[in-house]
């Protein structure tokens, strides 16, 4: 498809399980972002890739969260030993432009992966 | 550090009435400002953005916003609401020269449009 694709759309995990969320950005987009959106809140930045390089991971809430984009295209967000507070919608977004003054390009968001931890 | 404050988590207007969604920002450097809309079970979609050009920015679906530095505001308006405008609206800010597409979002305003 032409847009950002995320899978799974819905994931229910038992506390302590590991989960992996996948993001297929728009082909050719340099930048890829992960955001976490808790219920009733705005999206909060988790991490940023420019091609395969993870340039900013300052928003990852703990070392249980790990993201990768090994070939500069598809990205995976992994959460180890899930906790109830991890329940949220995880949004992936991509942009054609890289960082810096030129990086004011529009972010294209996927529909998100809704994680519920029981 | 940068932040945005959206006043009013819920706004209800009648169809055909003026829409005004408020956003105030805080940034230590000149900001870029954005409004995104989120329809149920969909991803966020860019409505409009301010990137230091014209202070009055026009976006899609008849929305516009005005950057007012003196008031640190970037309120979103539409002269006449339509039922299809019912959605969640997010204001966001990023810093010039930083990871300029790294956005800090407000908590959102849910717009309800009634007959």
User: What is the average pLDDT value for chain A, to the nearest integer?
Assistant: 91
Q: Residue A49 has which token pair?
A: 């890739």
Which stretches of chain B score pLDDT less than 50?
A: none
User: What is the average pLDDT value for chain B, to the nearest integer?
Assistant: 90
- Mapped onto helix, strand or coil, the DSSP state of residue B70 is helix
Whole-number pLDDT of residue A1: 55
Q: Residue A28 has which token pair?
A: 């050719």
B49 in Cβ contact with B55 (< 8 Å): no
Chain B contact present for A25, CB below 8 A: no
Taking only the tens place, the pLDDT of each residue in A71-95 is 999 999 999 999 999 999 999 999 8
CA dist A117 and B56 (Å) reads 44
Q: State mean pLDDT over A22-46.
A: 93
Chain B contact present for A44, CB below 8 A: yes
Nearest CA in chain A to B43: A111
Q: Is the pLDDT of residue A68 over 80?
A: yes
Interface test with B, best of A42, A57, A91 (most B CBs within 10 A): A42
Question: Considering just the CA atoms, what is the radius of gyration of chain A in Å?
Answer: 14
Query: Which DSSP letter does residue A69 get?
Result: -
Nearest CA in chain B to A55: B99
């Amino acid at each position: 498809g032409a847009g950002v694709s995320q899978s799974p759309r819905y994931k229910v995990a038992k506390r302590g399980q590991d989960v992996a969320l996948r993001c297929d950005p728009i082909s050719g987009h340099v930048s890829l972002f992960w955001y976490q959106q808790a219920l009733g809140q705005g999206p909060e930045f988790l991490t940023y890739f420019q091609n395969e390089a993870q340039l900013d991971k300052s928003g990852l809430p703990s070392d249980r969260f790990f993201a990768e984009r090994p070939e500069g295209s598809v990205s995976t967000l992994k959460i180890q030993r899930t906790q109830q507070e991890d329940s949220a919608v995880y949004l992936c977004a991509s942009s054609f432009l890289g960082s810096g003054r030129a990086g004011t390009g529009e972010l294209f968001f996927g529909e998100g992966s809704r994680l519920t931890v029981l | 550090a940068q932040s945005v404050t959206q006043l009013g988590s819920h706004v209800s207007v009648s169809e055909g009435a003026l829409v005004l969604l408020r956003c105030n920002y805080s940034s230590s450097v000149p900001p870029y400002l954005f409004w995104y809309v989120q329809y149920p079970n969909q991803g966020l979609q860019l409505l409009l953005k301010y990137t230091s050009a014209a202070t009055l920015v026009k976006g899609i679906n008849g929305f516009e916003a005005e950057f007012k530095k003196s008031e640190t505001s970037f309120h979103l308006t539409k002269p006449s609401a339509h039922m299809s405008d019912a959605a969640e609206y997010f204001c966001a800010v990023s810093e010039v020269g930083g990871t300029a597409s790294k956005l800090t979002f407000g908590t959102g305003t849910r717009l309800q449009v009634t007959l």
